[in-house]
Amino acid sequence: MKSEWISVNAAKPKPETRVLACTDGGNVITAMYEDGNVSENKTIFGWEGIDWIEKEDGLYIPESWYEYSEFIDYDDNIFPVYEKVVAWMPLPERYEQNE
């Protein structure tokens, strides 16, 4: 099965959408892209411990790639991706067991 990677130079995913991301270090992670236009009032995630960008009309999430962990048991479970993201692809459909 061939993967359908999309270069970040060609397109970026919709903000706050979890995707698979491939870094220049060869790592594949679950991540999301923020474009710098999502305000603290519009985000669907909790953003503890980030440095917000202040604009005239409020605070915004800085433009960057972020790794999101559902399994860390504390508030700041979103981390900047420290390697350069070079490509991404939508997450596959969730597995559903046949009965």
* Per-position b or e across 47-76, b if 16+ CB within 10 A of its CB: beebeeeeeeeeebbeeebbbeeeeeeeee
Examine residue 96 and state whether it is found in any structural domain, yes or no.
no
Examine residue 99 and state whether it is found in any structural domain, yes or no.
no
Full-model pTM: 0.84
Range of the domain at 54: 6-90
**Cα(59)–Cα(39) distance, integer angstroms:** 6
Examine residue 97 and state whether it is found in any structural domain, yes or no.
no
Examine residue 74 and state whether it is found in any structural domain, yes or no.
yes
Examine residue 14 and state whether it is found in any structural domain, yes or no.
yes
SS (H, E, C) 21-76: EEECCCCEEEEEEECCCCECCCCCCCCCCCCCEEECCEEECCCEEEEECCCCCCCC
List the pLDDT tens digit at each of the 99 positions of the chain.
566 999 999 999 999 999 999 999 999 999 999 999 999 999 888 787 788 999 999 999 999 999 877 666 555 578 889 999 999 999 988 888 886
Examine residue 84 and state whether it is found in any structural domain, yes or no.
yes
Q: How far apart, in Å, do the first and last CA atoms of the chain sit?
A: 26
User: What per-residue confidence (pLDDT) applies to 24?
Assistant: 96
Examine residue 45 and state whether it is found in any structural domain, yes or no.
yes
Examine residue 63 and state whether it is found in any structural domain, yes or no.
yes
User: What per-residue confidence (pLDDT) applies to 72?
Assistant: 61
CB of 81 closer than 8 Å to CB of 23: yes
Q: List the structure tokens of 67.
A: 């790794």
In the chain, the number of structural domains is 1
